[in-house]
């Protein structure tokens, strides 16, 4: 029964992404999206265990929406920061790899955090070892683990902790 619920959820998510990408509601495109997403969902998958970390509660859904807004805001700020660094005559960068600590225990939560950091311009997650993430930072502002964690991770982590536990 769980498998049906997970597949239905994935089908709806794929269909929503399809509709957002095509930005059109013409009948043939909607039908194509329904068919393609249904084919993807009906493919035999050995295990949909990735969904065991996701629980659908109103609080988690709300925090997911808030996290998306925070993430988009951080991406916007980082894009502006990187663009300003590029157009200056002398590029003010101080690249380096910093170690940050996460309190997330869920592997899926850590993966979401690492991806959020990587998708934010100016930072790339290089490695995850236990509760530590190693981040390449375009302009290292803090070398101490606690300070670097506060600057890079704290905005994302408080929401991901509620979403993924």
Averaged confidence pLDDT in the chain: 85
Residue 15 class from Cβ within 10 Å (0-12 exposed, 13-18 middle, 19+ buried)?
Answer: middle
Instruction: Look up the pTM and report it.
Output: 0.70
Q: Which two tokens stand for residue 100?
A: 């940050």
Query: What CA–CA distance (Å, rounded) separates 115 from 133?
Result: 11
What's the pLDDT tens digit per position in 23-44?
778 888 888 888 888 888 887 6
Judged by phi (left if over 0) then psi (alpha if -120 to 50, else beta), residue 116 lies in: alpha
pLDDT > 70? residue 45 = no
Determine phi and psi for 138, rounding to 5 degrees: -65, -30
Domain ranges of the chain: 2-53, 58-164
pLDDT > 80? residue 83 = yes
3-class secondary structure per residue, the chain: CHHHHHHHHHHHHHHHHHHHHHCCCCHHHHHHHHHHHHHHHHCCCCCCHHHHHCCCCHHHHHHHHHHHHHHHHHHHHHHHHHHHHHHCCCCCCECEEEEEECCCCCHHHHHHHHHHHHHCCCEEEEEEECCEEEEEECECCCCCHHHHHHHHCHHHHHHHHHHHC
């Amino acid at each position: 029964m769980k498998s049906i619920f997970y597949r239905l959820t994935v089908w709806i998510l794929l269909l929503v992404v399809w509709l957002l990408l095509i930005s059109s509601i013409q009948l043939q495109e909607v039908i194509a999206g329904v068919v393609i997403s249904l084919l993807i969902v009906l493919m035999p998958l050995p295990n949909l265990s990735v969904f065991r970390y996701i629980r659908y509660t109103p609080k988690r859904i709300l925090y997911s929406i808030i996290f998306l807004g925070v993430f988009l805001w951080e991406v916007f700020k980082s894009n502006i920061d990187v663009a300003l660094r590029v157009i200056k005559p002398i590029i003010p960068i101080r690249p380096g790899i910093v170690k940050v600590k996460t309190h997330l225990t869920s592997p899926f939560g850590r993966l979401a955090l690492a991806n959020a950091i990587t998708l934010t311009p100016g930072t790339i997650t290089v490695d995850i070892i236990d509760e530590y993430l190693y981040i390449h930072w375009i302009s290292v502002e803090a070398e101490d683990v606690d300070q670097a964690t506060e600057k890079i991770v704290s905005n994302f982590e408080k929401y991901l902790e509620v979403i993924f536990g």
